[in-house]
Amino acid sequence: MPAAYLDRMMKPLHRWVWADPDRRVRKLLMFAEVETDGGRDIVRAAEITPDPLLRRLYLEHAIDELRHGDLFRDRGAALIQTHPARSGGLFGGTPLPGGHGLDDLAIDGEPDYRLLAFLHVAEKSAAGRFEIYRDVVPDDPSTKEIFEQILRDEVFHMNYTYTQLVRIAPRTYRRHVWRARASRLWNRYLRVAAGITSVLGATMLTLMYFVLLPPFAWLAKRAERREGAGWRAISGDRRDAPSSQY
Amino acid sequence: MKILGISAHYHDSAAALVVDGVPVSAVQEERLSRHKNDAGFPSNAIEWCLTNAGLEADDLDAVVFYERSMLKFERILTSALRTFPYSWRSFPHAIKNSLGEKVWVRGIISSYLGVPRKKILFTAHHASHAAAAFLTSPSRRAAILTADGVGEWATVTAGHGTRAPGATDITLLREIRYPHSLGMLYSTFTAYLGFAVNEDEYKVMGLAAYGRPTMVEQVRKLIRRTPDGGFALAPEYFEYETTASRSYSSRFEDLFGSPRTPFEPIDMETTEGRRFADCAASVQRVLEDTLVEMARALHDETGLPDLCLGGGVALNGVANARILAESGFQRVFVPPAPGDAGCALGAALYADRIYFKNPDRDIPDHPFWGPAVDARELAKAATEDGQTVQELDDARLVERIADDLAAGRVVGWMDGASEFGPRALGHRSILASPQSREMRDRLNRDIKRREEFRPFAPVTPLETADRYFELPSGGARLGRFMSGVFPVRPEYRSALGAITHVDGSARVQTLDQAMAPRLHALLVAFGKRTGLPVLLNTSFNVAGEPIVNRALEGYSTFRRCGIDALVAGGVVVTKAAAPPREVAS
């Protein structure tokens, strides 16, 4: 259980994060998005599985996830009312960045055994995290109660995903669970790698912006000053050049 | 000729197939991928369009992308240069975003479909909007006005079109260019009011009815009319050119006060709630005034009786109704998909008529170009789940559902091919009795799970619409695709409490029997029971999800919310009590 062990080691950090009202709100609202997204993914799984029992179970699971999303959202909204954000930067005037449930697992085309294994591992990991979060918010009984409710549901989710995996893949279920764990690790690596690449890319482009663009910016601003506001005649809609991207 | 139109990469991607000048299939990617407002390359939609028509990609004569992507990239770069050095935060994001996929669209289409690059054509973004509005309308000659957030450079265009054998033409005469944009102005207020940009603009319109336009003067500081009848935005109030995360500036906040945070409830009993509603009413009023004046000038210039409206701004039904009433045009046509998704169809039609000069053809006047529902799929799943399933002929089904609706039950209604565009027009709808406000509150709370201030739309037979709604001349046409908001007649407002908005208006759909005969029969049957042939008609989805497409998607939505009965074709499913939780261990 290295991941769970690591999480427990990080408990003081989690306590520090959750102690800040702004971060607490942001966390809850992000969880709301992730749970809702995950719920929608599981709805999709229910819609495409050929197995009637799985369809019923997936639907129950999805309803739970969507309800969890509502619980987190309502709690986050309630906290905003009682603890207005310190800065407008909490939202910045745009919607919050949504999470993508189930680590962007593509539901369409995935066999049920792979999805069940993935769900089982994801639920187990989430349960471990939520247990820690429950313990670091003793000052906030309402939030603590939400984590407790969700943890009760996670037990059902972990049980049914494992039992059904054993039912539909009795000889290979262990391999699927290990593959799901490996796939989560790989996805984490990819996320970190993509994050680093993105930062490097942004740094390079920012350097280019300040080094290369000033003369062109001067020209562009000069050209803009010559443009009048309001209507401009369209010189022709390039119907003679249908294959041009310009 | 077989022409595939594609719109993608910004919001609402879609594909549409035109064969011999007539659409045969069109669908938004979100309906198939099940991700709301899916902006990705519409591979599912393309595949469905081709399969539905029995075609392979090799059979296509052309594939048309709905805008000129390099010209758009030029606009993004130029905008960054003009706002130097303030655009330093948005520049890396914009460049990565464009260079990742958007500028390589020709290669992406070519490699995905395996068609030669010379078959891939491009139209201008607003030409696609104009074609989607004009070429799908029954008008032979019309003025054309398009308005949206931004295409390549244009944000508003004005022109005219002619349909005639061998002489079909669309001429866009003039444009207003980015950053001056009515769509961006409205979206900025959408963000300020705590809603999602490019998605929740209609909430601003709904909220506006609760407020008074007390801040019109402040809004007019943001948008100045130019002597030529156009407009210009005051850049100091906006930040959408310089940051990717915020569209209004601190000067904007100085003018209008603190913004609403998402998730903060809007309570009209509080000062803050009323301020937000007044803010919405004010920007709505200024948008309407600007559009009406531009439309009136276009009417005076062209002398034509018909106007075709396109672009996302044409989804604003209140503004459309004012344009019809005040601009001088006798008829106003808005297609069922005026936004970017509709550009897929517009681009294909533009290529057919303008590039290839094919003869004009009348386009069937309905929105049902999507996948058909399979009732057997529903019957199988519901039977396996122990739900009550009945298969009825049309006449008995209509009587049975009319009884349910009259008894206050809520019905999920799936019939035939799905709609192309954001409105449910009777093939993927949730239907309910329009009579009480409690029904509106129940739908908002238990079924759609959305804000309580949101109104619902009615559907009524075309022939009786005027009895319940104050429809001006041309209003019924605007109501065909639910594109206009009109007053409910005062004597029916309390009897139609669920669909009458707080200001006494409703975004009515006037249903032509030929367009959806089963729904029409249901309205008549409901009318016999209640004396009101009007139903509440809302899209068949819950908040945050796309409208359902397949029967199983309708079924999963039915299972998750408070819908009482579900209809697909001749199959009726009635909700059974939830079974106990099954844990097999």
Beta strands in A2-154 (DSSP E): none
Give me the pLDDT at residue A97, please: 34
> For residue B422, is the peptide bond before it cis, meaning its omega torsion is within 30 degrees of 0?
no
Collect all residues with Cβ–Cβ distance below 8 Å to B52 and sequence separation of at least 6.
Answer: B17, B24, B25, B371
Identify the weakest region by mean pLDDT among A74-83, A136-145, B277-286. Answer: A74-83
Rounded to a whole number of angstroms, the CA Rg of chain A reads 24
In which band, very low, low, confident or very high, does the pLDDT at A246 lie, cut at 50, 70 and 90?
confident
Q: Do B85 and A210 touch (CB under 8 A)?
A: yes
b/e for B433-447, b at 16 or more Cβ within 10 A?
Answer: bbbbeebbebbbeeb
Give me the pLDDT at residue A91, please: 46
Res A95 pLDDT > 70: no
- Quote ipTM for the complex: 0.89
Query: Highest-confidence range of A23-37, A125-139, B123-137, by mean pLDDT?
Result: B123-137
Give me the pLDDT at residue A89, please: 46
User: Mean pLDDT across the stretch A79-93?
Assistant: 60
Q: Which residue has the tokens 């301020």?
A: B275
pLDDT beneath 50, residues of chain B: 583-585
Give me the pLDDT at residue B581, please: 57
User: Mean pLDDT across the stretch A61-71?
Assistant: 95
Res A90 pLDDT > 90: no
Beta strands in chain A (DSSP E): 232-233
Residues 66-125 of B with CB under 8 A from A: 68-71, 74, 78, 80-82, 84-85, 87-88, 91-93, 95-96, 103, 105-106, 118, 120-124
Structure-token pair, residue A29: 């609202």
Res A88 pLDDT > 60: no
Nearest chain A residue to B381 by CA: give it.
A52
Using one digit for the tens of pLDDT, what is the confidence trace for B371-383? Answer: 999 999 999 999 9
Give me the pLDDT at residue A80, please: 84
Higher pLDDT, A223 or B581: A223
Question: Quick count: other Cβ atoms within 10 Å of Cβ B527?
Answer: 18
Give me the pLDDT at residue B244, please: 74
Give me the pLDDT at residue B265, please: 83
Q: What is the pTM of this model?
A: 0.93
Higher pLDDT, B20 or A88: B20
In this structure, what is the dihedral angle of CA atoms A161, A164, A165, A170, given to the nearest 10 degrees? 160
Nearest chain A residue to B107 by CA: give it.
A245
Q: Do B226 and A47 touch (CB under 8 A)?
A: no
Burial class for B255, CB neighbours closer than 10 Å (0-12, 13-18, 19+): middle
Res A208 pLDDT > 80: yes
Res A48 pLDDT > 90: yes
Collect all residues with Cβ–Cβ distance below 8 Å to B407 and sequence separation of at least 6.
Answer: none
Q: Do A209 and B545 touch (CB under 8 A)?
A: no
Residues 46-105 of A with CB under 8 A from B: 46-48, 52-53, 55-57, 59-60, 62-63, 66, 73, 76-77, 80-81, 85, 88, 90-96
Give me the pLDDT at residue B474, please: 95
Interface residue A190 vs chain B (CB under 8 A): no
